Amino acid sequence: MNIGERWEEGVLILSLEGRLTIGDGDVELSGFIDEAFARSEKKIILDLRGVKKVDSSGLAELLRIRRVATAENASIKLISDLGSVKNVFEMTRLVGVFDFYDDVMSAVHSLRDD
d(CA 28, CA 111): 24
Of 8 and 22, nearer to another protein (C-beta) is 22
The answer to whether 91 contacts another protein (rule: CB under 8 A) is: yes
Contact 79, 46 (CB under 8 A): yes
Site string for another protein, 26-65 (x = CB under 8 A): --------------------------x--xxx-xxxxxxx
Percentages helix, strand, coil for the chain (3-state, rounded to 5) are 45, 35, 25
The β-bridge relationship of strands 100-101 and 2-8 is unpaired
The answer to whether 67 contacts another protein (rule: CB under 8 A) is: yes
The answer to whether 82 contacts another protein (rule: CB under 8 A) is: no
**Using the rule CB under 8 A, which residue among 18, 28, 37, 68 binds another protein?**
68
d(CA 7, CA 3): 13
Q: Where do contacts with another protein occur on this chain (CB under 8 A)? A: 22-23, 52, 55-57, 59-68, 84, 90-94, 96-97
